[in-house]
Amino acid sequence: MTTLLLIRHGQSQANLNGLFAGQLNPPLTELGVQQAQRTAEFIKAHYQVDKVYASDLSRAARTGQAVADNLGLPLKTDTSLREINAGQWEGISFERLAQDYPEDYGVWLADIGNSRPTGGESVAELAQRNEKALTAIATENPEKTVAVAIHAIPIRSIQWRLSGEPLSYMTQIPWVTNASVTELFFEDGVFRLGKVAQDEHLADLITTLPKTV
């Protein structure tokens, strides 16, 4: 069995400013760096990690680097692990999205699984891309434990994919917190979830997306 530890990146500047980042490249905030370091310590204390991967976007790569450095391992970045391509929404505040893209953003809020950011990648397309990338990592690392620093929508999408429910079910899956750790097991070509959104180690550093997103 292969274990993937899906780590949502620490708080980014876009998170702090209430912006939809998508595939833009905002850095971690100072708090985000602290979250990444605390999660790196948690992983070292609780898992025997063999490899560390990350999305190449700065907020995830910096989070993954903290884990890799703490374990004395190299970091491998992968563009296929990126957050959703949000098209015209990237860099826009959530408040402005509601004003400027009321129809498309309304679908996002009401039925995220069946939504598509204006001019961007659909959530269904992101889910397919994400599962393919994670399957490749798991297949390349049989019987190993791999830390993967990634983004919020990819983690939510893999939870949906494993639920067996229609895309509309994704609205019932909450966002994971920044720098939380979700276990994903891969055996005989099949994924299953373990512990989801472990964040107790973050204590007073916990942050998440606002409920209006």
For tokens 């408040």, the residue is: 95
Q: How far is CA 58 from CA 136, 139, 166, 174, in A?
A: 22, 25, 32, 24
Across the beta sheet with 190-193, the strand order is 75-78, 51-55, 145-150, 2-8, 181-187, 190-193
Q: Which of 41, 83, 125, 151 is catalytic?
A: 83
Residue 46: active-site member: no
Residue 9: active-site member: yes
Cα–Cα distance measured from residue 77 to residue 56, given in angstroms and rounded to the nearest whole number: 5
The tokens for 174 are 């909450």
Residues with active-site annotation: 9, 83
